[in-house]
Amino acid sequence: MSSANSKRLRIGVIGAGRIGRVHAEALRFRVPEADVRAISDVRLDAATDASQTFGIPKACEDYHELLNDREIDAVIICSPTDTHARIIGEAAKAGKHIFTEKPIDLELSKIDAALAAVASAGVKFQVGFNRRFDPNFKALADQVRAGKIGKPHLVRITSRDPSPPPVSYIQVSGGLFLDMAIHDFDMARYVGGEEVEEVYATGNCLVDPAIGKAGDIDTAVIVLKYRSGAICTIDNSRQAVYGYDQRLEVFGSQGCLLASNNAPTRTELWTAKSLEAPKPLHFFLERYMDSYVAEMREFVRCVQTGAEPSCTGDDGRKAVVLGLAAGRSLKEGRPVKISEMGGKA
Amino acid sequence: MSSANSKRLRIGVIGAGRIGRVHAEALRFRVPEADVRAISDVRLDAATDASQTFGIPKACEDYHELLNDREIDAVIICSPTDTHARIIGEAAKAGKHIFTEKPIDLELSKIDAALAAVASAGVKFQVGFNRRFDPNFKALADQVRAGKIGKPHLVRITSRDPSPPPVSYIQVSGGLFLDMAIHDFDMARYVGGEEVEEVYATGNCLVDPAIGKAGDIDTAVIVLKYRSGAICTIDNSRQAVYGYDQRLEVFGSQGCLLASNNAPTRTELWTAKSLEAPKPLHFFLERYMDSYVAEMREFVRCVQTGAEPSCTGDDGRKAVVLGLAAGRSLKEGRPVKISEMGGKA
Amino acid sequence: MSSANSKRLRIGVIGAGRIGRVHAEALRFRVPEADVRAISDVRLDAATDASQTFGIPKACEDYHELLNDREIDAVIICSPTDTHARIIGEAAKAGKHIFTEKPIDLELSKIDAALAAVASAGVKFQVGFNRRFDPNFKALADQVRAGKIGKPHLVRITSRDPSPPPVSYIQVSGGLFLDMAIHDFDMARYVGGEEVEEVYATGNCLVDPAIGKAGDIDTAVIVLKYRSGAICTIDNSRQAVYGYDQRLEVFGSQGCLLASNNAPTRTELWTAKSLEAPKPLHFFLERYMDSYVAEMREFVRCVQTGAEPSCTGDDGRKAVVLGLAAGRSLKEGRPVKISEMGGKA
Amino acid sequence: MSSANSKRLRIGVIGAGRIGRVHAEALRFRVPEADVRAISDVRLDAATDASQTFGIPKACEDYHELLNDREIDAVIICSPTDTHARIIGEAAKAGKHIFTEKPIDLELSKIDAALAAVASAGVKFQVGFNRRFDPNFKALADQVRAGKIGKPHLVRITSRDPSPPPVSYIQVSGGLFLDMAIHDFDMARYVGGEEVEEVYATGNCLVDPAIGKAGDIDTAVIVLKYRSGAICTIDNSRQAVYGYDQRLEVFGSQGCLLASNNAPTRTELWTAKSLEAPKPLHFFLERYMDSYVAEMREFVRCVQTGAEPSCTGDDGRKAVVLGLAAGRSLKEGRPVKISEMGGKA
């Protein structure tokens, strides 16, 4: 870490749930250039607990206090998805720089309105596709861009959760394509380096019938066609019993890049029974902690230097478009062109 | 190897091209229970060369000599694809047990006629899906069947050739789906342990425009839906510059099985520049030699003991049906149900 | 990280060189239970820079100011090796709990005096063998203790630096056995779980003749015999061009445990030329950062709870005894018994 | 395999025990250039069984029949160690080319007499250090010679058997250094590319007290110093419960080469319990079969072309010298110089 800055970026965190705490802690202890001034939550006790745990001076219930605070330069939006678009609009009008968790919203019209507010306010805006900042995936994307494997032909994303979320969450999350695969849609664009033109999705409920009753699937294969003719496959499961399975492969005209899972140690145990290696890191916060810190550092750096964040509002919107297209493909049993999805995409 | 048998199976090999020589050599030097009596080829010099190289007593131009030879119990059909169905029919009538290379034929009607002849003659019949006998893939399939990963949910087949065949071959081979992916269609059924109901195929010509001019693709993704709702993805390329890429993964309710590539050695070189490992075995005969020997041993054993070969005529037919369905899916840009493909499939 | 404690341990850091800054930063940003009050260095500007960088309230030249400060509970001794024993004695008399970098001293008599002062003052004392806290090595040691491989028979430590230190450092460091292998001597005791009885060391100057001129070797093999008859081999080099090579293997009656190197990512690049993986982490601060944080957390926790630190003064002494025995073995060309080394060892 | 040669080398195999059968089968089925004419064994039924199993025309009790047979060009000596030197002498006088299993003998004087007989007869002579022909180790040695890692500094040989031989064998074998480590002594010379000057050996009986009662050890560490100052460590155990552990590492000024174990497949099983890989090949005949075939092919080729075998009588002698030096080092508890061992070594 570099020197603590006398002109640190003054930050307010909106939402003190799990991901809000992650960002607050990262900003507080791992990003010396940040000065976390306040945290808000509709549950005041949650905000207070976070403020005490991480040594944040102020806790409050109403995020408007943060928006109205002249001593706050930027906000980190970690509230529930259905509040993102509204808060983005308000924060932009208040002249705050904005980092928001994904997805921006589940409706394109609301996304468009939020992004228009950002554009008109001229504030910095970054969307929380943290996996772009994961060392494994970033190394792959950097090497693709550096031409190490020539032109990409096939991209393969393995994205399997260790266990399903509660059905109550699935009922409001937008389902597998929008709460889980949305990261993979962004990854497909990020690592592929070009836009997707067509989506084919298929899937089933093989893990837990309760998920099916809630109208969702728990096992999916998604095929994306890029403009160049390259093809991406994503495979998702809500339950990989061996842990969080997050792998990536990009095959191109001159080679192949592969990222395997992270594990807690690089050790092996050889016995008369078998040769054993540690299972992948199980919890997404362990697996992706470095990426959360890195995205916060990029956001702070961009605001301080005037640079554009690398993960933009348009990136946030496009991932939602792909998720909606996947949903339509599954429903209609056919490939769906992105041009069918309307709007600006 | 076990003891050389006094009642060895007397075998004639039809076709002395590349794969004919592979089987002849395997039978001659690695299958003590086999007695290779003769080899035929429309190019007599090819047959003669093989007979001298491998110490086979007789070489001839016309395979009918083998069919008419009472001292021959079984034939190995290694002639061009468009002759398979006819020779199968004749060999069955001559009472010879039959091992044939894949595909049986590119037309279902001819396949059906050949299989009917086999059934009526009551001879043993085995199709050359050698990859079922590969130690890696067999170990995976055995563990799937033993329930090690519970119920399969996702199957992933990576099948990429080191370099494209001549365009002249592609023009008569039936194309990528029937000359290359056909092995993967069989693998999907073999390792998945159930039948496929629907095929979606997409692909492009990204490696060599000459392949596109010949009406084929060189890069493909195929999605197969099994009856249970499980899903298989196959990805194919005609050109993996790092070598022959033959991997397999089966993900299920209780775990995941993975097979990686074989390499000539298990060595590494660590230098100031990088950590290097050997590339995968490049040539399919190196990669799959053990599987060719194993399938010959199974064929000989089945004929000698009266057991049914594990890779049947129906298996040979179904792989072709999947290949034809993939072709239709690509052409029509939609998933194709196997029930649409007509016939008995 | 857990909640910031209202009764945080008040700490002074003595020495603001490289390792002093590492501990200061870890305590400041990664150990919420610690409150770093002051840092001293004979070079005041170094202390001042660290205090500003990490937000430490006080910087001073003379460490006695820390020892005399009633608001300081514990000190972290990061000064040059030849000052350790004296400062330990003074700090103990001042009633401060003590964490000291290794080695305690290069002379056993000074070590004994320092440890006697600690014992008489009754303060907590921990020696900085950080590798015990490395996740890979700790996982191995824990599994050895849990009986996963039965009784250890053979221990193998690979410990190779990426590049030699300056010759000026080697001239005062005690040489390879005391500045580099000392970590490995401690690891041999830690992971082997028993005491060493005999040392055989051999080595040469193969990397840089200047090291030989300075009277040291740069390549060594050390064989340690444990009381039980188990054997440990250590191999050291001052220069592994591929990076920092830190591996460990423990072979026992029921199996084998292995720890391989850490690398920045778990990625591979496959090309027509080779299959490449990332090199090991090159810099010891990257490789072992987690272990530095973990040892600080243990020290703070032990002082706060009254628990005994797991890496004691006796551990610090014994590693020096082994280093001295290795030096004698090399000089005399024969195995040296620990009982020959005199003193209490 | 290449064409069967009309001038195949006519071979007699002396000894139809385990290794005799291995060579007979390899020559018969995997070396087309060889023509195995006869096999002898003091137990006639063993010779007869092998002759029937592998289709060898003649079986006899007395190896002199082979030596007297003008139709035999070369012999493969697979009889007990204490007969090697005598048979070598007789075979040389009979003008037969000679391949002999290791060790040539346990006494240097007998070795010298045998080698003198070979030299005076001018026949080809090859010693069965088959591991030089193992693809992993050969690849390492070739890369060392090609300068891929610069000058070797440290060699590390892991050589652990899956389970101890019968104590009755140990009583006549010369013990661990001469029946087991002898392969490693040869490997140290082969892969190091230079001669050894000094040996230090230590070890204990940790696996089975019965081995200790028989006067041997079952766990050993051996340190070899090369002329250049480079150092080799060998670690041996009679019992690695996870299988046959045969690894090799050569560290040099420009890098490091590593060979890991061979396993039956390249597969993994990931479950809720662990990530499992297959254990190493357990049986030495599985692990090293390719090397046995390769050494037979080299022997046949050398006789046919007049080339010198790469593994000479001198190599056979030097490995015994190192084994004897290790025994003396263990007994006397000190490093032993090769120059102390007398004779020509």
d(CA D276, nearest CA chain A) in Å: 5
Long-range residue pairs from B209-216, CB within 8 A, at least 24 positions apart, any chain: B210/B167, B211/B164, B211/B167, B211/B170, B211/B238, B213/B167, B214/B167, B214/B170, B214/B171, B215/B171, B215/B175, B216/B170, B216/B175, B216/B176
- With an 8 Å Cβ cutoff, are B279 and C278 in contact? no
In a domain, D303, yes or no: no
Q: What is the CATH number of the domain that holds A19?
A: 3.40.50.720
Q: Quick check: is D306 in a domain? A: no
- Complex ipTM: 0.94
Distance from CA of C336 to the nearest CA of B (A): 35
CA atoms within 13 A on the CB side of B143: 27
Chain D hits for B262, CB-CB cut-off 8 Å, are 266
Residues C264-323 have pLDDT tens digits of 999 999 999 999 999 999 999 899 999 999 999 999 999 999 999 999 999 999 999 999
**Cα separation of B99 and D151, whole Å?**
54
Does residue A282 surpass a pLDDT of 60? yes
C80 vs chain A: nearest CA distance in angstroms? 24
> Are D242 and D162 in the same domain?
yes
Contact D263, D280 (CB under 8 A): yes
Inform me whether the C-beta atom of residue D265 falls under 8 Å from chain A C-beta atoms: no
Q: Is residue A323 part of a domain?
A: yes
Residue A221 lies in a domain: yes
pLDDT attached to residue A4: 42
Structural domain count of chain C: 2
Instruction: In whole angstroms, give the CA distance from residue D282 to residue B1.
Output: 18
Which of D25, D266, D272 lies at the smallest CB-CB distance from B1? Answer: D25
Contact yes or no for A223 and B223 at CB 8 A: yes
Residue D191: strand, helix, or coil: helix
Over residues B325-338, the mean pLDDT reads: 98
- Among C271, C278, C279, beta carbon nearest to B241: C271
- Asked, for residue A294, whether it belongs to a domain, the answer is no
Map tokens 């590319």 to a residue.
D193
User: Residue D256 is nearest to which of C207, C228, C240, comparing CB atoms?
Assistant: C240
Neighbours of D109 (CB within 10 A): 10
CB atoms within 10 A of CB D7: 9
**What pLDDT score was predicted for residue B6?**
53
Q: What average pLDDT does this structure show over B102-120?
A: 97
Does D271 touch chain A if contact means CB atoms closer than 8 Å? yes
What single-letter amino acid sits at C206? L
* Residue in A233, A240, A253 closest to B235 by CB: A233
Closest partner CB to C279 (pick from B242, B274, B277): B274
Alpha-carbon distance B266 to nearest alpha carbon in chain C (angstroms): 12
Is B199 part of a structural domain of the chain?
yes
- Nearest-Cα distance to chain A for B155, in Å, is 10
Tell me the per-residue pLDDT of D222-268, one tens digit each, with 9 for 90 and over. Answer: 999 999 999 999 999 999 999 999 999 999 999 999 999 999 999 99
- Residue finishing a domain among D70, D101, D123: D123
Residues C281-315 as b/e (b if ≥16 CB within 10 A, e otherwise) read: bbebeebbbbbbbbbbbbbbebbbeeeebebbbeb
Chains contacting A (3 or more CB pairs within 8 Å): B, C, D
Residues in chain B with CB shorter than 8 Å from the CB of D51 are none
Is B276 found in the same domain as B170?
A: yes
* Residue A147 touches chain B, beta carbons under 8 Å: no
Query: To 10 degrees, what angle do helices B108-121 and B313-332 make?
Result: 170
- Of D247, D248, D101, which is closest to residue D173 (Cα–Cα)? D101
Question: Is the Cβ of C148 closer than 8 Å to some Cβ of chain A?
Answer: yes
Whether C144 and C113 map to the same domain: the answer is no
- Give the CATH number for residue B147: 3.30.360.10
B·C CB contacts under 8 A: 35
Q: Which of residues 203-242 of A touch B (CB under 8 A)?
A: 203-207, 219-221, 223, 225, 228-231, 233, 235, 237, 239-242
Residues C154 and C69 in one domain: no
The residue from A93, A123, A153 where one domain ends is: A123
Per residue in C2-28, pLDDT tens? Answer: 344 458 999 999 999 999 999 999 999
Note the pLDDT tens digit of each residue in B22-34.
Answer: 999 999 988 989 9
**Of D245, D265, D274, D282, which to mutate for an interface test with A (greatest number of A Cβ within 10 Å)?**
D274
Are D275 and A272 within 8 A, CB to CB? no
For residue C274, the chain B residues in CB contact (below 8 A) are: 274, 276-279
Contact list, C229 vs chain D (CB under 8 Å): 204-206, 219
pLDDT for C227 equals: 97
Q: Is C150 on the interface with A (CB under 8 A)?
A: no
- Name the region of A97 (left: φ>0; alpha: ψ -120 to 50; beta: rest): beta
* Cβ partners under 8 Å of residue A201, min gap 6: A177, A220, A221, A222, A223, A325, A326, A327, A329, A330
Instruction: Name the closest residue on chain A to residue D276, using Cα atoms.
Output: A276
Q: What is the mean pLDDT of chain A?
A: 95
Q: H/E element holding D113?
A: helix D108-121
D169's CB contacts (< 8 A; 6+ apart) are D179
Same domain, yes or no: A333 and A184? yes
Predicted TM-score of the model (pTM): 0.95
The CA distance from C293 to the nearest CA of chain B, in Å, is 29
Q: Of A101, A123, A145, which residue constitutes the final position of a domain?
A: A123
Q: Is D277 on the interface with A (CB under 8 A)?
A: yes
A-proximal residues of D, 65-104, CB under 8 Å:
none
- Same domain? For A160 and A76 the reply is no
Same-domain status, A148 and A116: no
- Choose among C1, C48, C41, C35: nearest CA to C20: C41
Judge if A145 and A115 occupy the same domain.
no
pLDDT of residue A21: 97
The C-alpha of B29 sits at a distance from chain A's nearest C-alpha, in angstroms, of 34
Instruction: Mark which residues 299-328 of D lie under 8 Å from C by CB.
Output: none
How is residue D251 written in tokens? 């560290």
CB-based contact, A274 to chain D, within 8 Å: yes
Which residues of chain D, if any, have pLDDT below 70? 1-6, 343-345
Of C77-81, C207-211, D283-287, least confident by mean pLDDT is D283-287
The pLDDT of residue B220 is 98
Of all residues in chain A, the one with the smallest CA distance to C141 is A267
Residue A292 lies in a domain: no
Q: Are D243 and D261 in contact (CB under 8 A)?
A: yes
Regarding whether D253 and D163 lie in a shared domain, the answer is yes
D143 and D215 housed in the same domain = yes
Closest to C274 (Cβ–Cβ): which among B270, B272, B276?
B276
Distance CA C221, CA C233 (A): 7
Q: Is B269 on the interface with D (CB under 8 A)?
A: yes
| Domain span at D98 | 9-123
Please indicate if any CB of chain D lies within 8 Å of the CB of C337. Answer: no
Q: Does D271 touch chain B (CB under 8 A)?
A: yes
List, for residues B183-227, the tens digit of each pLDDT value: 999 999 999 999 999 999 999 999 999 999 999 999 999 999 999
Distance, in Å, from the CA atom of C271 to the CA atom of C144, rounded to the nearest integer, reads 40
**Pairwise CB contact (< 8 Å): B202 & A223:** yes
Shortest distance, CA A288 to any CA of chain C (angstroms): 13
Interface contact A262-C266, CB threshold 8 A: yes
Chain B positions touching A153 (Cβ under 8 A) are 206-207, 219, 237
Closest CA to D322 of D135, D129, D137, D43: D129
Average pLDDT over residues A116-140: 98
Query: What local confidence, expressed as pLDDT, does residue B32 receive?
Result: 86
Average pLDDT taken over every residue of chain C: 95
Q: What is the pLDDT of residue C29?
A: 86
In a domain, A295, yes or no: no
Q: Are residue C204 and residue C227 in the same domain, yes or no?
A: yes
Q: Do C255 and A271 touch (CB under 8 A)?
A: yes
Closest to A24 in 3D by CA, of A68, A55, A67: A55
Question: Are A201 and A223 members of one domain?
Answer: yes
Interface check for A275 against chain D (CB to CB < 8 A): the answer is: yes
Residues of A in contact with C136 (CB under 8 A): 265-267
